[in-house]
Structure 1
């Protein structure tokens, strides 16, 4: 919940999700189909490239994958200190696919 700094108040929530299809960013062959190598997913210079008006391979990948109907991609975590098996889910299209689970109305959203 907190990666840096002092512990802040935290609310954990549950979601129900119906998301797919997902591109497997761990699969080199699947990435090759989009003209990108696994190492390019971890490129720390993507923001500099974007700000300087240069093409960003990961953004090109996202646009091509969206055009082919993918809702998101599963990728390894590139966070410093993350275990080798840690994963991230990056979603491009989640509208209507994710709903908050609050069966006991603990968040008080039913009264709003």
Structure 2
């Protein structure tokens, strides 16, 4: 069952890409756990701490630009709905599988990427899913967006009232 997410979202970005906090081009170029190569995506979190954990998963804390969005996103798949997840042929262990990159290299598309492709084809704008970053708990959530714009049904607005990102 689809849900609507309404609230703030956070993203910790490498400063090299900070001037384009709405692009999704990095994920499109390299692919991510929940987007195959060629599909733009914004990986956002529902809390600041989760966003920092997500962007700094290896080694020490690196320079990071933190951004915040106002969001009103319709058609979000809730990965905590175990019945819906099972119907899609997955479970939490398969979502958390740390070998997704290897699978992507070996077969061209990891199961989590295929899952995302199917959700997109079904009209979903995003996926609400638990964070699997080191130190994340059950309540640390990410919202992966595949469709977003300045207006509905997948409205995302960067909060930059002082135009700090130019």
Task: Place the TM-score, normalised by the shorter chain, in its bin.
Answer: 0.7 to 0.9
More helix by share: 2
**1:59 equivalent in structure 2:** 113
2:122 aligns with one of 48, 68, 76: 68
Q: Runs of 5+ in structure 1 lacking a partner?
A: none
Using the TM superposition, give the Cα deviation of residue 62 of structure 1 relative to its aligned residue in structure 2, in angstroms.
0.5
Alignment of 1:26-41 (within 5 A): 26-41=80-95
Q: Runs of 5+ in structure 2 lacking a partner?
A: 1-51
| Normalised TM-score (structure 2) | 0.55
Which 4+ residue blocks in structure 1 deviate beyond 2 angstroms? 1-8, 10-14
Structure 1 residues 29-72: Cα deviation after superposition (integer angstroms, max 9, x where no partner): 11122122221101111111110126522111111111111111
- Structure 1 residues 62 and 7 mapped into 2: Cα distance closer, same or farther (>3 Å)? closer
| Normalised TM-score (structure 1) | 0.78
C-alpha separation between the residues in 1 aligned to 2:138 and 2:93?
A: 14
**2:164 equivalent in structure 1:** 107
1:43 aligns with one of 91, 97, 106: 97
